[in-house]
């Protein structure tokens, strides 16, 4: 399958998303996904670096359009043990200088304890997600409960390859004008990282 960049509109809040949430909830649910993930935040970068299903998964922000929609492209996916070369690639993505890497490859725990935690520009955020996913007018939309190191949030999003289609759905849901905020920005706000 070809890797495709997708545009996304997302918002975070503590309560109900009003008429838009009611409209989505009235649709048949496409799927529900519950995951435990770890995100690696960098003081120097807003790239999306997470560990899910024992894979390091990186999405890179490609564009922000005039509607403030964000276009994200998957750029790296690798499992554990993770090689020294891949960790050096991650350091460039996160724009950090890592401690000297003494191993040729790292298990998950070695990577967290010896690479991520000692780096003062990085912060590990443990994330629990419970995502209800819907299809609406050709787009994928979700309402999710998210927990960032114990801080509870709710999020709603619409995504697709076509940004104009996303904006039509956002408008239909009554969410036009609501600020777009991605997971990394929301997590940084939650943990107090500037």
Q: Is 21 strand, coil or helix?
A: helix
Query: Which stretches of the chain drop beneath a pLDDT of 70?
Result: 1
Neighbours of 144 (CB within 10 A): 20
Tell me what pLDDT residue 1 has.
Answer: 66
Q: Where are the domains of the chain?
A: 6-191
CATH architecture of 6-191: Beta Barrel (2.40)
CA distances from residue 139 to 9, 63, 75, 136, 189 in whole angstroms, order as listed: 11, 19, 22, 5, 28
Interval 140-186: pLDDT, tens: 999 999 999 999 999 999 999 999 999 999 999 999 999 999 999 99
CA distance 181 to 68: 9
**pTM of the entire structure?**
0.94
CA distance 38 to 79: 14
Contacts of 183 (CB under 8 A, 6+ apart): 10, 39, 48, 146, 155
């Amino acid at each position: 399958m070809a890797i495709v960049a997708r545009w996304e509109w997302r918002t975070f809040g503590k309560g109900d998303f009003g008429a838009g949430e009611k409209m989505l909830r009235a649709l048949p649910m496409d799927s529900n996904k519950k995951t435990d993930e770890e995100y690696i935040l960098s003081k120097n970068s807003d790239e999306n670096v997470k560990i899910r299903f024992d894979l390091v998964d990186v999405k890179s922000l490609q564009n922000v359009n005039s509607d403030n929609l964000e276009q994200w492209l998957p750029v790296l996916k690798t499992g554990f043990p993770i090689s020294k070369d891949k960790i050096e690639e991650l350091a460039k993505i996160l724009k950090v200088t890592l401690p000297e890497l003494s191993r040729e490859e790292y298990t998950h725990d070695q990577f967290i304890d010896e690479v991520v935690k000692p780096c003062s520009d990085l912060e590990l955020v443990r994330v629990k997600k419970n995502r209800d996913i819907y299809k609406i007018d050709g787009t994928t939309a979700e309402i999710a409960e998210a927990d960032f190191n114990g801080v509870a949030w709710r999020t709603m999003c619409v995504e697709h390859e076509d940004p104009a289609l996303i904006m039509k759905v956002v408008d239909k849901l009554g969410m036009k004008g609501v600020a777009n905020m991605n997971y990394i920005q929301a997590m940084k706000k939650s943990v107090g990282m500037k």
